[in-house]
Amino acid sequence: MLRAWEELDVRPGWRAEIIGEGITLQAPPKDGHNEIIEIILRRLYTVLLREGSPAAGTGVHQNADIRVPLLGELYVPDLVVLPRPFSKWGKKHLAEDALLVVEVTSKWNAATDRKTKRRGYAHGPVPLYLLVDRWDEEGPVNTLFSEPENGGYRHIHHTPFGAPIKLPAPFDFALDTSDFPTDE
């Protein structure tokens, strides 16, 4: 499956992932989705570039493939924070090397981000998984999953859009979500 994924000729903006026993294609995200990613990216760089930041040796990447060998899956998250330099990882970016993964739900794939990828990132293990869910049935919500253990996360913290969400070490800052758009 991995070989087939590597040989795919995917159109610009599209993403191919290995989820379960198949390869799935995702269409390019729409404006609201991209705007949220851009806001998070700017705020993360503010922290990463701060003098003496414990996260200073990391970089934020969009659309980098993250492999979960234990499950045989490969995801392409919206954002991933990895130690620099990115080139040292070669073709393999393992989930266990990520410090933070961010997924912003789209209407059609929200269940995958909420369940399948959450389980995959926990198995990675990715220490911090931020799910920005514009399509939650109770209203837009940010959920930070932390402390992966046995294929799940021990700590789950929810905040509604508009409220800050605290990202722990090595980031140590409250992510302002007040200007996250809720429309597609």
Note whether residue 81 is domain-resident: yes
Whether 20 is in a domain gets the answer: no
Give domain status of residue 120, yes or no: yes
For the stretch 36-81, pLDDT in tens is: 999 999 999 998 888 888 888 898 998 789 999 999 999 999 999 9
The whole-number pLDDT of residue 57 equals 86
Edge-to-edge strand ranges of the sheet holding 100-104: 58-61, 79-83, 100-104, 128-133, 141-149, 152-160
Whether residue 129 lies inside any domain: the answer is yes
**Overall pTM > 0.75:** yes
pLDDT digits (tens, 9 = 90+) for 136-174: 999 999 999 999 999 999 999 999 999 999 999 999 999
Q: Are β-strands 22-26 and 79-83 bridged in parallel, bridged antiparallel, or unpaired?
A: unpaired
Instruction: Name the one residue in this structure whose structure tokens are 């198949």.
Output: 22
The tokens describing 48, both together, are 């990463």
Q: 78-132, pLDDT tens digit by residue?
A: 999 998 877 766 667 899 999 999 999 988 889 999 999 999 999 999 999 999 9
Q: What one-character DSSP code corresponds to residue 44?
A: H
The rounded distance, in Å, linking the Cα atoms of 178 and 175 is 9
The CATH number assigned to the domain holding 85 equals 3.90.1570.10
Flag whether 35 is in a domain.
yes
- The pLDDT of residue 90 is 65
| Token duo for residue 13 | 């903006």
What does the pLDDT read at residue 88? Answer: 67
Q: What gap in Å lies between CA 162 and CA 92, rounded to an integer?
A: 36
Specify the number of domains making up the chain.
Answer: 1
Domain assignment present for 156:
yes
| Domain of 56, in residue numbers | 29-175
pLDDT computed for residue 154 by the predictor: 98
- Residue 22 domain-assigned? no
